[in-house]
Amino acid sequence: MKLSFSAADEQFREEVASWLQQNLQGEFEAIRYRGGPGDEHMYHHERHAWEQRMAQGGWTCVGWPKQYGGRGCSIEQQVIFFEEYARAGGPGRVGHIGEGLAGPTIMAFGSDAQKQKYLPGIVSGKELWCQGYSEPGAGSDLANVKTKARFDESKQQWVINGQKVWTSLAQEADYCFVLARTDPESKAHKGLGFFLVKMVQPGIEVRPIQQMTGTSEFNEVFFDDAVCAADDIVGAPGDGWKVAMGLLGFERGVSTLGQQMQFQNEFNEILKIAKGNGAAQDPALRQRIAKAHTELKIMRYNAMRMLSGQSGGDGSLQKEALIYKLFWASWHRELGELAMDVLGPQSQILEAAPYQLSRLQAMYLFVRSDTIYGGTNQIQRNIIAERGLGMPKEPRP
C-alpha cells in the first residue's frame, strides 16, 4: 500500500484547495460543514446547486474514467480530494448515491445505452439517486425481497409492485435503483432483477418517516404498477443479486473516502469544543479523544489498503473491506457519545424552540442507527466470520 504522495499529487492538492477556496464562499458560505448525519435534509436546494457548481469545475466523479465524464484520478488523488474537501468544510454531497453507487454499478454491469442515458446526469450534478433495497419485515435479510417486477409484453415495459423502506432522501431523488423479484416462484437471492426507475411518475408514492431527530431523511416508497422501460434492467432477469452485491462493493469502496470526510469534520468540531470549554483537560475525555483520532486514521489507512488492492471493474474488493462497516458504525456511535460528554450539561439544552437540535445533538441521536442500517453489527460479524475467515456458516432454520 502506498502511503506517501508524489510531487504531482501535491500539485493536485493545491489545485483542489485553490478551487474550493475560490468557490465555497458567497452564496455557498452557509452550507459549509452542513449536511452530515442528522442534518442531511438541511439546505438541500443550496447543496444541489453546489453539486452543479462542482460539476462545472470538473470536481464531481473525480475517480470515474475520463470516458464517462470523470477525471480518472488515482486512489491517492481521490484521498487528497476528500481530505481537502473536508478541510475546506465542504457540505454533505447530495449526489453521493449516484456518484458512489449507481454510477459505478452502471459502468460495471450496465449496457452502453444505459451508460449514455444515466451517467451524464450524475456527472453534471443535476440528477439525484436513491437506493431501493430494504423492505418492511426483511430486517437485514437483503435477499428477502417481496417487491415484484413483471414484464408487460404488450407495452414492452417492466411493471413494479411492492414497498421499500428506509430509503434515504427518496423525496429528493430523480431515480431509484430497485431490487425486485422477476421470478415470482423464486426465493432468496435467485430470480431477482436490478432496475433503474424514474421516481416522478404515477404509481410511486414517497412517505417521509419522521425520525427522533425531528427530520425525515428516511422514507417509505410504495410501487403500485410503477413502470420502467424494457432496457432499464441492469443485466438479465435473474442477475439482480450479482449486480446488487457489486454495488455493495462500491459502497464499501471509494465512497468510504467521502464518508470519512464527514467524520473528520465532526471530529474536528468536537475537538474544537473540547479545547474551548476545558473538556480536553479531563484525562478520561482526553484519552477518548485520542482514541477517536487514532481510529479515524486507522479507518483511512484501511480504506486505502482495500482500495489499493481492488480487483477493479465489478466492485469486488479485498477481504479487508469486510471489516469496514462494523468498524465505522461502532466508531461513529462512540463519537456521538463522546460529543455529548464533551458538551457536558450543554448537550441537554436545545438551541431553539420547539425542537431544533444542534448539529452534534442531531448527530448523536442519528448515529444510534449506524449499527443497524446497511447490515447490523451482528450481520457484519457473520459476514467476517463466514466470508473472511472461512468459518462454518451459522445454523439457519
The rounded distance, in Å, linking the Cα atoms of 11 and 166 is: 41
Q: What residue numbers bound the domain in which 222 lies?
A: 129-238
For residue 286, being part of any structural domain is answered with yes
The CA-atom distances, in angstroms, between 157 and each of 22, 152, 154, 229, 231 are 47, 5, 8, 5, 8
The burial of 228, by beta-carbon neighbours within 10 Å (0-12 exposed, 13-18 middle, 19 or more buried), is given as buried
C-beta of residue 189 within 8 angstroms of C-beta of residue 241: yes
Does residue 149 sit within a domain?
yes
Ranges of beta strands (E only) in the chain are 129-132, 148-152, 157-165, 175-181, 192-198, 204-208, 219-229, 233-234
135 close to 165: Cβ distance less than 8 angstroms: yes
pLDDT in tens, the chain (397 residues): 666 788 999 999 999 999 999 999 999 999 998 887 777 778 999 999 999 999 999 999 999 999 999 999 987 888 889 889 988 999 989 999 999 999 999 999 999 999 999 999 999 999 999 999 989 977 777 788 999 999 999 999 999 999 999 998 899 999 999 999 999 888 888 999 999 999 999 999 999 998 888 888 889 999 999 999 999 999 999 999 999 988 877 776 666 776 787 898 899 999 999 999 999 999 999 999 999 999 999 988 887 777 676 555 555 566 777 888 899 999 999 999 999 999 999 999 887 777 788 889 989 999 988 898 878 899 889 988 988 899 988 776 6
- Amino acid 142: pLDDT: 79
Same domain, 323 and 345: yes
Q: Which of 93, 112, 137 is the last residue of a domain?
A: 93
* Whether residue 174 is found in the same domain as residue 201: yes
CATH classification of the domain holding 30: 1.10.540.10
Q: Identify whether residues 62 and 178 lie together within a single domain.
A: no
- In this structure, what CATH number is given to the domain that contains residue 358? 1.20.140.10
Is residue 251 among the annotated active site residues?
yes
Q: What would the grid cell of residue 146 be?
A: 417481496
Q: Pick from 214, 238, 262: which residue ends a domain?
A: 238
Q: What is the pLDDT of residue 323?
A: 86
Annotated catalytic residue, options 51, 76, 217, 251: 251
Same domain for 256 and 375, yes or no, is yes
Cα–Cα distance, 293 to 220 (Å, whole number): 36
Same domain, 85 and 203: no
Q: Give the pLDDT score at 253.
A: 65
Q: Does the residue 18 lie in any domain? A: yes
**Total count of domains within the chain:** 3
13 is a domain residue: yes
The whole-angstrom separation of Cα 176 and Cα 374 is: 17
Do 228 and 146 reside in the same domain of the chain?
yes
Output the nine-digit C-alpha cell for 225: 404498477
Question: Does a structural domain hold residue 98?
Answer: no
Domain assignment present for residue 260? The answer is yes
